[in-house]
Amino acid sequence: MYRSLTQYLERLEREGELMRVKVPVSTEYEIAEITDRLSKTKGGGPALLFERTGTDFPVLTNLMGSDRRIALALGVERLEEISERLEELLKQATTPPDGLWGKLRMLPLLGEVSRWMPRTRSGRGAVQEVVWQGDEVDLGRLPVLKCWACDGGRFVTLPMVNTLDPETGIRNVGMYRMQIFDRSTTGMHWHLHKTGARHYDAYKRLGRKMPVTVALGGDPAYTYAATAPMPDNLDEYLLAGFLRRRPVTLVKSLTNEIYIPEDCDFVIEGYVDPAEEKVVEGPFGDHTGFYSLTDRYPRFHVTAITHRRGAIWPATVVGVPPQEDAYIAKATETIFLAPIRLAVQPEVRDLWMPTEGTAHNLAVVSIDHRYEGQPRKVAQGLWGAGQMMFNKYLMVAPAACDIRSRDQLAALLRRVDPVRDIQFSEGILDVLDHATATTGYGGKALLDATRIDPLSPEKAISIPRSFEPVGGVQLVNTAFVERWSTLVLYADRSRPDEVDVAAYLDHNKIRGVNFVLLFDYAAAGAMNDADLLWLAAANTDPRRDAKYHEGVLILDARSKRPGVGENPARFPNVATSHPDTIHRVDERWAEYGLGELLPSPSRRYRKLWLSDEAQW
């Protein structure tokens, strides 16, 4: 595997997966806008190394943002190799040894696992070659990005945040964004469901300051492991060792007792004081594609910054999908399929999380269906398994279905009986889900497609050649009807709050469709099919926004302004670049050496803004 981030970049360059930008660029908006354009090209675009950032350090973005690069980052030709290794390991570990010889057969397995365990050594590591302490500590010397026009500040976006359980000493490595406040403090954005927040609560109970050490860079397997949905109390560096086939070597932080990989690029050491009042953090253009709004989080005090000579600052840009995080999520669904099968739901054959669902909103699983109620059992099991608890919409398909084939999924959806096959529930959702009336809790929906024969006759669809805009509703197009048995409508701009979809369906004598999606006017002409799916999943809470009318499921995906629906607050705006940034990047594109000019995705998504207010 890779002994440094530089070694990984050398591999990417040999593979034609890296482009260098040699001209000066700004870490405020410009790098993010360039990265957004490239990451939304077919296949995810290249990794980008910005060599002149106005600091002593280059910035690397989109380092794992393609199928090829995420595989290279984890040291394989295809991600399925890791899943197969893990599945074989789990089979050995879960098969009870039979007698003496069975126990002896387990010894090689135990020896293999021991070789992946992280190891500590004395002395300093490469990441501690340069040390800033005392008055030298200055976060402003680091090339931390500010990505979107309404972001509350600059954010560290690829940190490996190391914390210890004060009662057990067990380490956790999580990825929590960090907003820079001043020379020596940041926010620490760990959600209440995360292990870092649990450790924080434990220190608060004990009345003690909480040591925290943040690492960045090094072998990309470290960064991936920090994002992985590891079971609580299992060491992320053990996973990294498994991926690398070599243990992670750790050294002690200089100002606390936390050990971190010795070959990272940067380390930021410090503490969080639970006795301190929390501070306002945000807004931030998040992986949901929308701004996560301001909230209060702990303040992180920096006591030391260290880095290796020749260090590279890794950063990721998150926003409207697809972005780099889509490929990281794809790796997770592939790698962790084996544990789901063996430990959680043995009947699960495959799992797919479409990019449009931004990791949590949409998931499709195929199962070996043998008995009544089994899909509900699978759904309940998955909704209680690690980060799958955040899933909002889950489709369960029969094992024979290739769930990554949109044609096969469409064939099932055209034959769905929405009343019979869709079941609603409630549960934990992502704190960043803006559609919920209660933060972190809301509706869930299960679509059981296991009883549908994909070759059975489809329902006859009857729609007129022209549609009358009754009930404050107008038609987007009819393309969705034939493929997905779905009518896409938008609320009339002049009467956005006087909507009666049922009246529209009845007046126009529309029969045979299974689903209706209702959007704001702005979505009508600007969005493609993938955008509409992303918006529908993001802007709805099934317990509030799903209604039936004569067997048709109507999903209200409009923004819930005050007075619309049950949500008292306006939904957040979509994360986009400022027009000035777009213009500057357009003007400079030839300088970057990145090929033909790519249009800014923000020009399209800007049309979804609810109002400019004072934000521009």
Inter-residue long-range contacts of 189-196, CB under 8 Å, 24+ positions, other chains counted: 189/281, 189/284, 189/297, 190/161, 190/297, 190/298, 191/430, 191/431, 191/432, 191/440, 192/431, 192/440, 193/389, 193/428, 193/431, 193/440, 195/163, 195/232, 196/161, 196/163, 196/172
Tokens of 320: 């409207």
Q: Give the count of alpha carbons within 13 A of 368, CB side only.
A: 5
Distance CA 323, CA 33 (A): 12
What's the rounded Cα separation, in Å, for the pair 209 and 234? 23
Where does residue 327 rank: exposed (0-12), middle (13-18), buried (19+ CB within 10 A)? Answer: buried
Q: Which two tokens stand for residue 271?
A: 């503490």
Q: Is there a catalytic annotation at residue 67? A: no
Paired sense of beta strands 515-519 and 552-556, if any: parallel
* 112, 156, 162, 437, 530 from 175: Cα distances, Å: 28, 10, 9, 26, 27
d(CA 89, CA 113): 9
Query: Distance between CA atoms of 30 and 55, rounded to whole angstroms?
Result: 15
Catalytic option among 235, 263, 265, 286: 286
DSSP string, 302-333: EEEEEE-TT--EE----SSSSSHHHHHHHHHH
Measured CA to CA in angstroms, residue 438 lies from 201, 281, 445, 448 at distances of: 22, 20, 17, 26
On the CB side of 245, how many CA atoms lie within 13 Å of its CA? Answer: 9
Q: What DSSP string describes 383-412?
A: TTSGGGGG--EEEEEETTS-TT-HHHHHHH
Answer for the pair 311, 267: CB distance below 8 angstroms, yes or no.
Answer: no
Beta-carbon contacts of 194 under 8 Å, excluding residues fewer than 6 positions away, are 174, 176
Selection from 373, 33, 332, 302 nearest residue 142 by Cα: 302
CA–CA distance, 54 with 589 (Å, rounded to integer): 19
Q: Which residues pair with 333 in a beta bridge?
A: none
CB 170 within 8 A of CB 180: no
DSSP codes of every residue in 242-290:
HHHTSPPEEEE-SSSS-EEETT-SEEEEEEE-TTSPPEEE--EE-TTSB
Q: Which residues are catalytic?
A: 286
